[in-house]
Amino acid sequence: MNGWELAGVVAVSYLIGSVPTGYVAGRLLKGIDIREHGSGATGATNVLRVLGRAPFLAVMVGDALKGYVPVLITWYLFHNHDLQVASGIAAVLGHDYPIYIGFRGGRGAATSFGVYAALALPLFFGLVAVGMFIALAVRYISVMSMVTVPLGGLVLLLLALLHVKDYTYSQAVFGAFATAFVLLTHAGNIRRLIKGTEPKIGEPVNTRRRGRARARTT
């Protein structure tokens, strides 16, 4: 790995991650800036509240692909785990701070899932199953994100510690990043969960934001 390869991977992955799928969905379907509605995020959870289930599924898949595609392509081009991790981190940062729309995006959970899929596809399917169970059991998407993303990081670390073939501490670095990042960006959700004011799936919410304050929930 040289400096030019690293710079190129990071730049391209960030630009792919920056594609604002939720923002585009809002503009196309309702002619709105989704960041001015609901939680103010561009991620799938806010899309569900503002636009409905079908756009939610489309945006969730799109956000996951923003992590999956650049990381997978990086592996096929360079066969380097460190570059994969750099690609994944850049894609998640792009989703959260997209250059195309003023660096106001989502929270990166779905994009992190996409990175997990590129790093370890069986892990991805396991996390999806766990996530669906949590979503159905407690009906908080924020809880699903805050449990499954760290769980994925823990599994990657265990695979590295056990010296499982094709798993290294590089992948565990991404898991640690994703864990810290998802917990940091969900600080507001944690406060609302403690207060009992976090909206559940299907609960009516006021989708029009007041002022410019940002309290993202995806």
Quickly list DSSP for 30-88. HSS-GGGBTTS--SHHHHHHHH-HHHHHHHHHHHHHHHHHHHHHHHHHH--HHHHHHHH
Instruction: Give 33-87 pLDDT, tens digit per residue.
Output: 999 998 889 999 899 989 999 999 999 999 999 999 999 999 999 999 999 999 9
In whole angstroms, give the CA distance from residue 105 to residue 43.
7
For residue 39, the model assigns a pLDDT of 82
For residue 217, the model assigns a pLDDT of 43
**Bridge partner list, 101:** none
141-161 vs 187-195: helix axis angle to the nearest 10? 120
Contacting residues for 150 by C-beta, under 8 A, at least 6 apart? 178, 179, 182, 183
Average pLDDT, integer, range 104-132: 95
3 state DSSP class of 37: strand
pTM of the model: 0.90
Residue 5 is encoded by which pair of tokens? 């390869």
Outline where 79-140 has alpha helix (H): 81-96, 109-119, 121-138
Instruction: Give 82-101 pLDDT, tens digit per residue.
Output: 999 999 999 999 999 999 99
Instruction: Give 124-162 pLDDT, tens digit per residue.
Output: 999 999 999 999 999 999 999 999 999 999 999 999 999
Residue 52 is encoded by which pair of tokens? 């409905």
Residue 108 · residue 185 · CB < 8 Å = yes
Residue 75 · residue 119 · CB < 8 Å = no
For residue 206, the model assigns a pLDDT of 59
81-96 vs 3-17: helix axis angle to the nearest 10? 30
